[in-house]
């Protein structure tokens, strides 16, 4: 017996007014579908089948990159959530003796803990189907859980099909269900579209299995937010707010200092060490790991990067890069394209580092571009240094040795190599290699023409 999952991702999501399928609309910069896939995998689901439909190629391409083991089944046309599950028939047949969780792909707050607790409830009660529900204050538009006077589960009534009285029932269907594999197969074979929307509702499975004499139950989620989904952009914003709060709260409880959460958006897969401070307007997304006792922000953006301990990133953008211990960057710094800033590097205002390795203790305090370069340790970049890495067709690399001193306003025309401890005079344009320990001066000589201004009178006469 194992756990497996079917995720429904075929709907268009008309109310999102998006070209993308609804499940690809993002919460904290990841498609809603990402969170549902992650939750079932974290809960131990071995096989996952995603039902695609509207703009299915977009979803299939995304999933192939995310995890090639996920299988998909196409639903065309889309005739409701029950019809969507019918498309997974062969997947279900391969899992007749397993427990299958079916989830809406547009419910990104469903978490591993809720999935596991509901699974335990499902097994303890030997249910053919266990639906997940929660009490919500405004149950408009969702499925209402109908119970008899003793509280025994009867069926799910969709809002569009509900009587005025049923519309007031606050216990709501999460759109998440555990099924025994063989019971799910039986249920989809007995669904009809005899309802207001003429759709095959998966929700009818509950009544179908009860009528067959099987056990069905509702697991009421303690955390009612776990069942929330998004059908339009306002609801998407609400989900962002909730998820942002959940992540920030968990980080603060683990020892991360966020003195003001305004504009702080931190993704699910970000790890931050104890004593690190995150300042306002800082976005950290993708796979980012940050060490201890750093100060990140204000106004910083980090994506898919690794940051060591004791790092300061003030008004920085860091993409796909590694920042080692004790580095100090900013303000107004961009580090990108697999760059590595080794221990103790100082990068000051208006400096960009791209696809470069910058050695330990190197300093570039202002107005510099370090692109496609291998820079040694303890190098000093004067203000306004530019590595001229692009000849219009191809990118070339610069190599700068340990302890080199690059005078202000130097152009390094790549490919070029500056030897260890070499010294470049300010204003030089370097296009040939410089040996170690040499001084290189590559600029025009200065002529002072005495009295020239008085003689030529080049300025307009003042009235």
Q: Within its chain, how far is the Cα of 264 from the centroid?
A: 14
Binding mask 85-114 for ligand UD1 (x = CB under 6 A): -------------------xxxx-------
Please provide the DSSP assignment of 286-331 as one string: SS-EE-SS-EE-SS-EEES-EE-SS-EESSEEEES-EE-TT-EE-S
Least distance (Å) from ligand UD1 to the CB of residue 8? 3
Nearer to ligand UD1, 88 or 418 (CB): 88
Give the burial string for 80-105 (b: 16+ CB within 10 Å, else e): bbbbbbbbbeebbeebeebbbbbbbb
C-beta of 11 vs 31, nearer to ligand UD1: 11
Number of separate helices (H) and strands (E) present in the chain: 9, 38
Among 37, 39, 49, 51, binds ligand UD1 (CB under 6 A): 51
Q: Which stretch binds ligand UD1 (CB under 6 A): 200-208, 275-283, 328-336, 393-401?
A: 200-208
Minimum CB–partner distance for residue 368 and ligand UD1 (Å)? 49
Smallest distance, ligand UD1 to C-beta of residue 74, A? 10
CB of 84 to ligand UD1, least distance (A): 4
Cα(246)–Cα(267) distance, integer angstroms: 11
Q: Does 162 bind ligand UD1 (CB under 6 A)?
A: no
Choose which of 31, 108, 143, 291 interacts with ligand UD1 (CB under 6 A): 143
Alpha-carbon distance values, 100 to 114, 182, 236, 326, 369 (Å):
15, 10, 27, 49, 54
- Measured CA to CA, the distance from residue 89 to residue 214 in angstroms comes to 21
The reply on whether position 11 binds ligand UD1 by CB under 6 A is yes
Residue 53 found at the interface with ligand UD1 (CB under 6 A): yes
- Where in 101-130 is the site for Mg ion (CB under 5 A)? 106
**Residue 433 phi, psi dihedral angles, 5° rounding:** -60, 150
298 binds ligand UD1 (CB under 6 A): no
Three-state SS string over 273-292 comes to CCCCEECCCCEEECCCEECC
Exposure string over 254-291, b if 16+ CB within 10 A, otherwise e: eebebeebeebbbbbebebbeebebbeebbbbbebebb
Q: Which of 159, 190, 338, 366 is catalytic?
A: 366
Pick the closer one to Mg ion by CB: 114 or 428: 114
- Which of 10, 181, 229, 291 contacts Mg ion by CB under 5 A? 229
- Specify whether 366 is catalytic: yes
Q: Applying CB under 6 A, does 297 fall inside the site for ligand UD1?
A: no
Given Mg ion, ligand UD1, none, residue 75, with its beta carbon under 5 to 8 Å by kind, binds ligand UD1
Smaller CB distance to ligand UD1: residue 221 or 341? 221
Where in the sequence numbering do the catalytic residues fall?
366
């Amino acid at each position: 017996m194992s756990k497996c999952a079917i995720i429904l991702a075929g709907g268009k999501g008309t109310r999102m007014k998006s070209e993308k399928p609804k499940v690809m609309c993002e919460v904290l910069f990841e498609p809603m579908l990402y969170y549902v896939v992650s939750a079932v995998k974290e809960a131990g689901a071995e096989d996952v089948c995603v039902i695609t439909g509207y703009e299915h190629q977009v979803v299939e391409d995304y999933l192939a990159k995310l995890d090639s083991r996920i299988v998909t089944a196409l639903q065309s046309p889309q005739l409701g959530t029950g019809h969507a599950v019918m498309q997974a028939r062969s997947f279900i047949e391969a899992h007749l003796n397993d427990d299958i969780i079916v989830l809406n792909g547009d419910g990104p707050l469903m978490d591993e803990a809720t999935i596991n607790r509901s699974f335990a409830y499902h097994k303890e009660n030997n249910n053919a189907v266990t639906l997940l529900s929660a009490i919500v204050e405004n149950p408009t538009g969702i499925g209402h859980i109908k119970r008899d006077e003793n509280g025994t589960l009867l069926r799910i009534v969709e809002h569009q099909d509900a009587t005025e009285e049923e519309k007031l029932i606050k216990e709501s269907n999460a759109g998440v269900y555990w099924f025994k594999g063989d019971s799910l197969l039986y249920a989809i074979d007995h669904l009809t579209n005899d309802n207001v929307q003429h759709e095959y509702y998966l929700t009818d499975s509950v009544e179908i299995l009860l009528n067959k004499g099987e056990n069905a139950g509702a697991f009421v989620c303690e955390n009612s937010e776990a069942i929330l989904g998004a059908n339009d952009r306002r609801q998407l914003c609400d989900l962002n707010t909730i998820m942002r709060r959940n992540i920030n709260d968990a980080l603060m409880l683990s020892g991360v200092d966020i003195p003001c959460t305004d504009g702080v958006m931190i993704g699910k897969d970000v790890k931050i060490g104890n004593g690190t401070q995150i300042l306002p307007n800082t976005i950290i997304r993708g796979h980012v790991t940050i060490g201890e006792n750093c100060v990140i922000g204000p106004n910083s953006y980090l994506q898919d990067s690794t940051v060591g301990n004791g790092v300061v990133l003030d008004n920085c953008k860091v993409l796909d890069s590694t920042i080692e211990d004790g580095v100090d960057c900013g303000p107004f710094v961009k580090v990108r394209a697999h760059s590595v800033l080794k221990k103790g590097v100082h990068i000051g205002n208006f400096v960009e580092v791209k696809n470069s390795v910058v050695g330990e203790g190197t300093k570039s305090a202002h107005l510099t571009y370090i692109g496609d370069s291998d820079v040694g340790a303890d190098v000093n970049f004067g203000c306004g240094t530019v590595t001229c890495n692009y000849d219009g067709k191809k990118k070339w690399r610069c190599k700068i040795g340990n302890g080199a001193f690059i005078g202000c306003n130097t152009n390094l025309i790549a490919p070029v190599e500056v030897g260890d401890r070499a010294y470049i005079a300010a204003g030089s344009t370097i296009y040939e290699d410089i040996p170690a320990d040499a001084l290189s001066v590559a600029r025009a000589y200065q002529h002072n023409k005495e009295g020239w201004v008085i003689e030529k009178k080049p300025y307009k006469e003042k009235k």
